[in-house]
Structure 1
Amino acid sequence: MDQIRQNAVKEMIASVGETKWNENMEFLQVLISSVKNHKINQHPIVSAMNACEYSLQEMQTMHMEYRAIVHIFTDALLMAQYQSKKVENVMKPGSKAYARFLLTLNTLDEFGFHYKIGEPCYFQGTPQRSHLILFEELMTDMSISDEDRQEFVPSPVTQKLKECFLAAYDDYPLLLTLLAIAEEIVMIFSPVMRLNTGALGIPVQEGYYQVHGVSEDEENDACDDFHQNDLWLILAQGAGGYDQSDLLQNSLNFIDLWEDFWSQDFSKNKIKSMQKIAPQENQVDQSSDVERELAVG
């Protein structure tokens, strides 16, 4: 697979020219550094989930908020496939094929195809292994019903993040950048989400959390780091030129929204079934208080 990727990148460099490619790579180093050094990488929720401090209700709400982005991620990948046609405005016909090749490696992973890292590239697959299906199965394991999923309204913070993603669908360079940042978010937060979720007795050894993270993690079959790197390289091919300062600012705005997402209070915006349980829990607590008062009396 490494050789396959290297061949694709070699063709992309030829399509844009080595001089322009090197110029774009210099800018990319600035852009990637701004992402890697953003304070979201030290967000306090990471240590909190690492210590398994979040309750089932909080993790249910967190995953339902996250679901709003999970459901549009492959839409964004497919839109990037389509928008790659823009490279042919300034490059020879067929140049979009190289970007689409690397994007396809990501979509194959998302749609349920997989291969063994370090072995000859032979894809196997089933729709049941698609990340979206695995995520929905995780919701079921977390006791989130179909009705909960239908009735849940994401928080204003989540909706703002989602709208930022959707607004980039027509902007090829920005869309590639937001997809790369989303992969970064997955690598930061998936391992601790997996840990806290598993501590609640929910199976995480297989399924959604088995295919998210980095390729060096022996506990999973994930390769989000490969996908992120592919996206940065596709961006280096460019789309007929773009305003670098504008792209950098929009990228920072997007990752700031992700920081807001993880900073929201997940004890609120409960799923519908948890809203029904809450009054009963209050009644039990009140009864216990009365019993304690009688005992003291």
Structure 2
Amino acid sequence: MHIDIDQPREIAVENLKKSIPKELWDTNEQFIAQLKHKIKNHQLVSNSMIELLTNGHFNHQAVKNIHLEYRHAIVQIFTDALLMAQYQARQLEPRLPAGIKMIARFLLTLNVLDEFGFQPGTSTINYYQGNPAYAHYPLFEKVLNELNISIAERENYKPSQIAVEVRRYLEKSYDTYIAVVALLAVAEQQVILYSPPLRQATKSVGLNVEHGYYYVHGVSSDHTALAADDDHEDDLWFTLIQACTPDIYPSLEDMCMHYCDLWNRFWLYQYEANSHLKR
């Protein structure tokens, strides 16, 4: 029997749709569409830091400060959260039939592979392609190297209260599958919004952003990067559509919007703390 393996994302999404009753899928999909609309109209999307970073407003010290804050808030724990989502997919059972959790895990794995340094295609020996040197977290550490941030500075850095709050809010979701998946989807939206501006801010202080961390962050339609954060965000929303039920809509919306509020405060603080450090 031939089984198609050439379109893993599309196949996984179709299987997700078949894993719950069509009426529930349609209801959940409508709710998620409304939630995504609210997120895209949140103040986070129009925060003045987007323009300031894009225009290279900040000097080298400010860019260093912002990267250390961003490292604490999300970079260090992003793959932790993804792996917790993988693990907590077990909560789909017994509400859904045995084995259904593997469809969500399959789809989430595409994000995990990207984060860990695997790349699409097969090698000359017909095996997976990849190298842990291309994992996103180490690539971010290389940006810190190029910004001349020492290991001691990283280890001794005291993050702001809002950076601590952003991190803790995601970490506190680890025990609940639906919560960690939803917050990861919001985090991906934040990455999509702020990675291009951060790339420009970093470029403006003399770093080469044609490779490394900023080359693999952004959207799949950006021909100047090898990024797929929009695909990863969509995949997280799809897994959430499979998992949620109408009784949790209000709490799920409150949680996502609060995380947006925290991220907006995070970026407002970055301006306040670094406004005097202009180029």
- 1:51 aligned to 2:58? no
2:166 corresponds in structure 1 to 161
- 1:23 aligned to 2:11? no
Alpha-carbon distance between aligned partners in 1 of 2:165 and 2:198, rounded to the nearest angstrom: 22
- The Cα RMSD (Å) is 1.8
* Counterpart contact for 2:182–2:237, Cα < 8 Å: yes
Give the alignment partner of residue 178 of structure 1, picking from 172, 178, 183. Answer: 183
1:41 corresponds in structure 2 to 45
Distance apart, 1:88 and its partner CA: 1.4
Unaligned 5+ runs, structure 2: 122-126, 275-279
Relative to structure 1, is the Cα distance of residues 233 and 225 closer, same or farther in structure 2, using a 3 angstrom cutoff?
A: same
Distance apart, 1:3 and its partner CA: 2.8
1:210 corresponds in structure 2 to 215
Distance apart, 1:7 and its partner CA: 1.2
Mapping of 1:182-261 within 5 angstroms?
Answer: 182-238=187-243, 243-261=248-266
Render the CA deviation track for 1:226-261: whole Å, top value 9, x for unaligned. 000000000010156651101101111100000000
Structure whose alpha-carbon radius of gyration is higher: 1
Distance apart, 1:61 and its partner CA: 0.6
Alpha-carbon distance between aligned partners in 2 of 1:162 and 1:172, rounded to the nearest angstrom: 17
Unaligned 5+ runs, structure 1: 117-121, 270-297
2:115 corresponds in structure 1 to 110
Alpha-carbon distance between aligned partners in 2 of 1:85 and 1:6, rounded to the nearest angstrom: 22
Alpha-carbon distance between aligned partners in 2 of 1:178 and 1:55, rounded to the nearest angstrom: 31
Distance apart, 1:185 and its partner CA: 0.6
Relative to structure 1, is the Cα distance of residues 242 and 235 closer, same or farther in structure 2, using a 3 angstrom cutoff?
A: farther
Mapping of 1:35-184 within 5 angstroms?
Answer: 35-68=39-72, 69-115=74-120, 123-184=128-189
Alpha-carbon distance between aligned partners in 2 of 1:163 and 1:135, rounded to the nearest angstrom: 20
Distance apart, 1:89 and its partner CA: 2.0
SS of residue paired to 2:163:
helix
SS of residue paired to 2:139:
helix
Alpha-carbon distance between aligned partners in 2 of 1:251 and 1:24, rounded to the nearest angstrom: 15
Alpha-carbon distance between aligned partners in 2 of 1:216 and 1:103, rounded to the nearest angstrom: 20
* Counterpart contact for 2:49–2:271, Cα < 8 Å: no
Amino acid at match of 2:267: W
Alpha-carbon distance between aligned partners in 1 of 2:219 and 2:162, rounded to the nearest angstrom: 27
Amino acid at match of 2:199: R
2:277 corresponds in structure 1 to none
* Counterpart contact for 1:58–1:266, Cα < 8 Å: no
Relative to structure 1, is the Cα distance of residues 207 and 15 closer, same or farther in structure 2, using a 3 angstrom cutoff?
A: same
Identity, % of aligned pairs? Answer: 39
* Counterpart contact for 1:173–1:238, Cα < 8 Å: yes
Distance apart, 1:79 and its partner CA: 0.2
Amino acid at match of 1:115: P
Amino acid at match of 1:99: A
Render the CA deviation track for 1:164-198: whole Å, top value 9, x for unaligned. 11111112112111101111111111101111111
* Counterpart contact for 1:49–1:193, Cα < 8 Å: yes
Comparing 19-28 with 127-136, greater Cα deviation is found at 19-28
Amino acid at match of 1:58: A
Amino acid at match of 1:28: I
* Counterpart contact for 1:172–1:239, Cα < 8 Å: no
> TM-score, length-normalised on structure 1?
0.85
Alpha-carbon distance between aligned partners in 2 of 1:207 and 1:73, rounded to the nearest angstrom: 17
